[in-house]
Amino acid sequence: MSFNSYIFILLFLPLTIAGYHILNYAKKFQLAIFFLLVMSLWFYGYTNPYYLIFLGGSIIINFTFHLLFTGTSGKDYFSKPISRKVLLCISLIINLGILFYFKYYNFFVDNMNLFFQTNLSIRNLLIPLGISFITFQQIAFCIDSYRNEIYKLHFSHYALFISFFPHALSGPILMQEDFLPQLSQQNRKKIDWTNFSIGIYMFVMGLGKKVLIADLFGNAVNIGYANLSSLNSTSTLFITLAYTIQIYFDFSGYSDMAVGLAKLLNFDFPLNFNSPYKSITIIDFWERWHITLTRFLTKYLYIPLGGNRKGTRRTYINTLIVFLLSGLWHGASWAFILWGLLHGLFLVVTKAFKTIFDRIPKILNWMATFLFINITWILFRTESLGSTLLVIKAIAQNDWGKIDSGISDVFSSDFIRFIPEYIVPFMFLAIILLVVLTCNNVYESAVKAKYSFFTGALVITVLLLSLLSLSGMSTFLYMNF
C-alpha cells in the first residue's frame, strides 16, 4: 500500500486513526498497540502477502536475539562478554545475510560471471519492501541490546517499532529511543489537537509535494530518459535538473508524510529532511539530507571504526568507507558505489581544505555544491555507468536548441498558452527551485503556522488537487533503495 493511493487516504488512514484513538479513549491501551500492529501488517502486506513472511520472520529472529542479550530468555551463559560478542556477530551475519541475498545476490553473481568468466545463474528474487530500512533498524536494535541500552520489552512493542506503517517502507530509520518510550507515555494516549493539526498539514503538504511536483517532473524525466539518444544538449540538461527536483520533492514529500502520520497518532518522529538544497557545503548537505541514515552510519559504523579519534588520515579513510557503504546501501550497482565514493571524496576534500573553502564566498560554495549534487544524481537515475556517460556526453555535445516537444508537453496548459512552449519547462523549474531555496520547509511551516481560514483553505485545496491527480499514481523513489 502506498501513501499516495485512494485506499490509503480514504479507507486505511481514517480507520487507523479512529480505531487507535477510540481504543485509547476506552483505556484499552495494549489493545490499541495491537490494533496499530495489525493495521501496519495490513499496510505492509497489501501489495503482496508474501512480504509478511520476511517481515514476521525477521522480527521474531531479532526479538529472540534481544531476549538472549537481556537475559530474559533464561540463557545466563550469554551474560559472558565473549559469548555476547559471538551472539552479536551471529545476529549481524543473519541480518546482513538476508539483505545480501535479496538485494545483492544477483549483483554479486553478475560480477563473478564478468570477472572470472563463470556461468553462475541469477535468481528471480522478490525483494521485500523497505528491506534496507528494516534491516538497518533491526541491526541498530540488536547492537543496542548488546550494549544493555534496552531492557525488558513486550514483543508487540518491538513488532510495532519495526513494522509501524509511517516509516516501514522509506524511513526515517528509527532507533529504539526514538519510538519505544513513547508507547508507554500516558500523555500520548489522548488526542493532542496541536499534534493533530500539524499532522494533517504535514501529510497533505507532503502528498502535494509528491503528486503535484515530484510526479510532474518525473513524467518529463521518464520521457527524456526513454529517448536519450535523440535528445539535444538543452533537453538532456533539463532532464538532469528535473530529476534533481523530482528526487527532492519525492523524498521530502515521503518524509513529511511520515512525520505527519505519526503526529496524527500522537507519536513524534525525528526530522529526516531539512532543506538540503540550501546547503553551502557537502558537509552541510549530509547534515540535512536523509538525516537518520547519516545518524545510523555515524553511530554504528563511523564511530566503531575509530571516527576522528585516530588521526587525520584514519578519519578520511573512515569517511570514505562510510560513504562507499552508503552508496551500496542505496542500490546493487557500480553507479551507486561510485556515487558514494564521489560524495565521500568531496567531503574529505572539503574537510582537508576547510580554511580555503571558508574564504570562498558562500554563493560560490553553494553553486559548487549544488552542481556536484546535480551531476551525481545522474548516477542515481541511470543506475549504470554507461548510461551516465551517455547523459554527460549528450550535454557536452554543445547541441543547444529547443527543448524536446515530448518533454515540454508535460508542462503544457491552456492557462499559459501565451508563453512559448520551449520556455515553459524551464520556467516551472526556476519557480520551484526559487521556492526550495527561499521558503521554509514543510516542518518549519507546520510548527510556526497560525491555523486560520487561509491555512485550512490551502490544505483543502492541495488535498483536492492531489486526490484528482492520483490516477497516475507512482511509487516513491526511495522504495527502490
The reply to whether 370 and 277 lie within a common domain is yes
The reply to whether 183 and 203 lie within a common domain is no
* Domain stops at, among 165, 191, 217: 191
What residues make up the domain containing 273? 195-480
Please tell me what DSSP assigns to residue 289: B
The reply to whether 17 and 139 lie within a common domain is yes
> What is the per-residue DSSP string for 117-176?
---PPP----PPTTHHHHHHHHHHHHHHHHTT------HHHHHHHHH-TTTTTT-----H
Q: Is 97 among the domain residues?
A: yes
Please tell me what DSSP assigns to residue 473: -
The 10s digit of each residue's pLDDT in 269-321 is: 999 999 999 999 999 999 999 999 999 999 999 999 999 898 899 999 999 99
- pLDDT tens-digit profile, the chain (481 residues): 899 999 999 999 999 999 999 999 999 999 999 999 999 999 999 989 999 999 999 999 999 999 998 876 555 555 677 788 999 999 999 999 999 999 999 999 999 998 888 888 888 888 999 999 999 999 999 999 999 888 778 999 999 999 999 999 998 999 999 999 999 999 999 999 999 999 999 999 999 999 999 999 999 999 999 888 888 999 999 999 999 999 999 999 999 999 999 999 999 999 999 999 999 999 999 999 999 999 999 999 999 999 989 889 999 999 999 999 999 999 999 999 999 999 999 999 999 999 999 999 999 999 999 999 999 999 989 878 888 888 998 898 888 888 988 898 888 776 666 677 778 888 999 999 999 999 988 988 888 777 778 888 999 999 999 999 887 667 888 876 6
Q: Is 1 among the domain residues?
A: no
> Count of domains in the chain?
2
SS3 letters for 210-250?
A: HHHHHHHHHHHHHHHHHCHHHCCHHHHHHHHHHHHHHHHHH
pLDDT of residue 289: 95
Alpha-carbon gap, residue 16 to 265, rounded angstroms: 9
Residue type, 399: D
Query: Could you tell me the CA-to-CA distances from 321 to 85, 103, 314, 328, 341 in Å, in that order?
Result: 23, 20, 10, 11, 8
The 10s digit of each residue's pLDDT in 390-417 is: 899 889 888 888 898 889 888 877 666 6
The reply to whether 104 and 169 lie within a common domain is yes
Contact in structure between 43 and 165 (CB atoms under 8 Å): yes
* Domain stops at, among 191, 224, 242: 191
> What is the per-residue DSSP string for 276-314?
GGG-SSHHHHTTTBSHHHHHHHIIIIITTTTTTSS-HHH
Contact in structure between 416 and 180 (CB atoms under 8 Å): no
Q: Is 471 among the domain residues?
A: yes
Task: Find the distance separating the first CA and the last CA of the chain, reported in whole Å.
Answer: 17
Alpha-carbon gap, residue 221 to 426, rounded angstroms: 13
Q: List residues with catalytic annotation.
A: 330
pLDDT of residue 416: 65
- For 406, other C-beta atoms within 10 Å of its C-beta total 16
The reply to whether 185 and 202 lie within a common domain is no
The 10s digit of each residue's pLDDT in 343-353 is: 999 999 999 99
Residue 279: φ, ψ to 5°: -65, 135
Cell of residue 315, nine digits:
578519519
Q: What's the chain's length in residues?
A: 481
The reply to whether 218 and 150 lie within a common domain is no
Choose among 436, 287, 280: nearest CA to 364. Answer: 280
The reply to whether 183 and 80 lie within a common domain is yes
Maximum C-alpha span of the chain: 78
Q: Is 167 among the domain residues?
A: yes
The reply to whether 181 and 266 lie within a common domain is no
Alpha-carbon gap, residue 478 to 251, rounded angstroms: 7
* Domain stops at, among 191, 216, 238: 191
The reply to whether 146 and 247 lie within a common domain is no
The reply to whether 124 and 183 lie within a common domain is yes
The reply to whether 300 and 434 lie within a common domain is yes
Q: Is 205 among the domain residues?
A: yes
